[in-house]
Amino acid sequence: MVRDLTIEELQSVIKTTVEETMQEFMEELFVSNSQNYLASIEEARANYQAGRVTSLEDVFRV
């Protein structure tokens, strides 16, 4: 529980949470502004809808 944490432990938890949240935000920002990335997602969705897919077994040759 939070009340059982020392101040240092709580600070560490907060710092880690903020860092992770900022990293995720920056990744989302990059992705949303990357035309090549967005185009690749659209292409992948079109391929999937058209049935142009490869099974995991074929990918990993299992």
How far is C-alpha 12 from the chain's CA centre? 23
Where are the domains positioned within the chain?
2-60
Rounded to whole angstroms, the Cα distance separating 9 from 55 reads 45
Report the predicted TM-score, pTM, of the whole model to 2 decimal places.
0.51
Per-residue pLDDT of the chain (62 residues; tens, 9 = 90+): 888 999 999 999 999 999 999 999 998 888 888 888 889 889 999 999 999 999 888 889 86
